[in-house]
Amino acid sequence: DIQMTQSPSSLSASLGDRVTITCRASESVNKFLNWYQQKSGKAPTLLLYDASTLQNGVPSRFSGSGSGTDFTLTIDSLQPEDFATYFCHQSFTTLGTFGQGTKVELK
Amino acid sequence: EVQLVESGGGLVQPGGSLRLSCAASGFTFSNSWMHWVRQVPGKGLQWVARISGDAGSTTYADSVKGRCTISRDNAKNTLYLQMNSLSDEDTAVFYCVRDKGGSYYHGVAADWGQGTLVTVS
């Protein structure tokens, strides 16, 4: 199985900050890397897919980049509704695998 | 608007069985790949199973293979997950998920239900 490792596991940030979360795959997943946001007690929602394509309705302050094994999720100008846990997910292999999550908290 | 509503979760003893259901609406269910994804409370996510729109193709995670069966009733717009020989390691919230690809497989979870909690104890 391809292992997905996110860093950091958690971070503290202030409103308006730029936040970057990284996701590393144990082997190449090409461009097939997706990002999900999960708020406390809720189901995850899709933010970006295929590394950099924004899902419909997702604010443009979210962006993604990378290919192969190294990917980043960037949130420009952190908003109150962005405090949540973020998961990366590779869909290169059948069913895929998720990262362990990065919790973004208010500093 | 896509709606996915899971039901069937609950408390079950080790070795027991449970059938989860997911009522879908707001899209052409019979054309869509569907999935079950689970999450141990406070932990990470694991893709459990997938099924094609015509139910002709199914795939399972190794951790549930032989114990779980994903199925669908396109006439009822409903997805199922039959789980047998449950252990405490199966305790999780189970989410019904619509694939972003629709009739073609993309492997991206575009829409999620609210989840149903399965507790094995």
What SS3 state is found at A2? coil
Q: Residue B42 has what pLDDT?
A: 82
Q: Which of B108, B50, B102 is nearest to A45 (CA)?
A: B108
Q: Residue A69 has what pLDDT?
A: 98
- The one-letter code for the residue type at A66 is G
Q: Which two tokens stand for residue A29?
A: 């997943």
- Tell me the sheet residues that pair with B83: B18, B68
Q: What does the pLDDT look like over B62-88, one tens digit per residue?
A: 999 999 999 999 999 999 999 999 999
Q: What does the pLDDT look like over B18-69, one tens digit per residue?
A: 999 999 999 999 999 999 999 998 889 999 999 999 999 999 999 999 999 9
Q: Residue A44 has what pLDDT?
A: 98
Looking at CA atoms only, how far is residue B116 from chain A in angstroms? 10
Cβ <8 Å between B113 and A49: no
Q: Which two tokens stand for residue B26?
A: 């707001």
For residue B47, which residues of chain A lie inside 8 Å, CB to CB? 95-98
Distance CA B68, CA A78 (A): 41
Q: Average pLDDT of B106-120?
A: 97
Low-confidence ranges of chain A (pLDDT < 50): none
Q: Residue B41 has what pLDDT?
A: 85
Q: Residue B8 has what pLDDT?
A: 98
- Phi, psi angles (nearest 5°) of residue A3: -95, 135
What SS3 state is found at B74? coil
For residue B44, which residues of chain A lie inside 8 Å, CB to CB? 87, 98-101
Distance CA B34, CA B15 (A): 26
Q: Which two tokens stand for residue A57?
A: 């309705």
For chain B, the 3-state helix, strand and coil shares in percent, each to the nearest 5, are: 5, 50, 45
Q: Which two tokens stand for residue B110?
A: 């575009």
Q: Residue B29 has what pLDDT?
A: 97
Check pLDDT > 90 for residue B103: no
Residue B59 CA: distances (Å) to CA of A84, A91, B49, B52: 30, 14, 5, 9
Looking at CA atoms only, how far is residue B108 from chain A in angstroms? 7
Looking at CA atoms only, how far is residue B15 from chain A in angstroms? 26
